[in-house]
Amino acid sequence: MPELPEVETIKRGLQDKIIGKVIQAIDVLGPRRLIGKREDVVGRKILAVDRRAKVLRVQLSGGTNLLFHLKMTGQLIYRPEIRNTKYEIRDSFAGGHPSHDWHADLPNSATRLVFTFDDKAKLFFNDLRMFGWCKVLTDEQVAKIFMDEYGPEPIDSDSGQALPDFTVPYLAAQAKRLPRRKIKQFLTDQKIIAGIGNIYADESLFAARISPLRPVKEISPLEWQNLRQSVVEILGLAIKNRGTTDSDYVDSEGKKGGMQNFLKVYRRDGQPCPENCGGLIERITLGGRGTHYCPACQK
């Protein structure tokens, strides 16, 4: 599942392609593929594209929004009006779970929604396993969901700096509410911190030298400070490198990200610790998720 840096990269690609276009038609291929009313979307102009946590928001005229969550196998594939093969390849992009669909004939068996714009360009929402979703919501509904379901964003995606609400006192206060929660599960709880998943939780904990198994009540003030800084630095590096290319992610131009070249523990199980401590990276299951860490370095 793409995390904050990957969704941020897709957001930027969409901004370059679809802002200013008018949605002329929507083809809904199957029941409940569009959660909301089609008539609330058709004829609306795209005003902005932004991101909250791992969710993409396409803001439309008239106070309406499209929210996308790609989950495990979701894709957004943009294609301009097809004039010739060279034009299509140059101006298309794809983001999400990589597959042959990047250059296949569309729509196909994985296509759930097709948005047609006033210039005849199309945006395809594909989702093979159908875990992802697209919702039609008002501005008021979006504001409530984003406030109720997600904690603060940890980083300003443009500057790479920590945002004002992502502070050590905030983290410590949340830890007091959930003292027995393991720190890995704490970091990936979207109601506490928005946008962090498996990859960047593992990497941030390694950078801060904190075991993912520790209860948050045992984290010292200095460790909270180090962990906050590690989260900001790791996410900033990932955004700069256009995300991680794992088994199920490419960026908004259908290209591989580069952050995998900087990962220290994620999917490095069995390999020597990069800090030359003599330990080996281990993989355990924590809260149903694969977790990677160095038992020798992370205490």
Q: Which of 203, 193, 187, 184 is nearest to 155 (CA)?
A: 193
pLDDT digits (tens, 9 = 90+) for 129-168: 899 999 999 999 999 999 999 999 999 999 999 999 999 9
Q: Is 289 a catalytic residue?
A: yes
Q: Tokens 């949340």 appear where?
A: 174
Give the active site residue among 12, 51, 54, 264: 54
Whether 283 and 276 have beta carbons less than 8 Å apart is answered as no
CB 3 within 8 A of CB 196: yes
pLDDT of amino acid 96: 75
For the question of residue 54 being annotated catalytic, the response is yes
Catalytic entry in 209, 214, 255, 289:
289
Kindly list the structural domains of the chain, giving each domain's residue range(s) and its CATH number in brackets, ordered by start: 4-149 (3.20.190.10), 168-293 (1.10.8.50)
Decide: 14 and 92 in contact? Cβ < 8 Å: no
From CA 169, how far away is CA 60, in angstroms rounded?
37
Higher pLDDT, 103 or 180: 180
Q: Among residues 2, 5, 107, 212, which one is catalytic? A: 2
Give the model's confidence band at 250: pLDDT under 50 very low, under 70 low, under 90 confident, else very high.
very low
The pLDDT of residue 34 is: 94
Is the confidence at residue 249, as pLDDT, over 70?
no
175 contacts 219 by C-beta, under 8 angstroms: yes
Q: Which of 3, 6, 8, 153 is the catalytic position?
A: 3
Structural contact between residues 43 and 23, judged by C-beta atoms closer than 8 angstroms: yes
- Where do runs of H (alpha helix) occur along the chain? 4-18, 85-91, 139-149, 168-177, 183-187, 198-208, 221-240
- Of the candidates 39, 23, 20, 43, the one whose C-alpha atom is nearest the C-alpha of residue 125 is 23
For residue 169, pLDDT beyond 50: yes
* 105 or 180, greater pLDDT: 180
Confidence band, pLDDT 50/70/90 cuts, at residue 248:
very low
- Tokens linked to 292: 């990677």
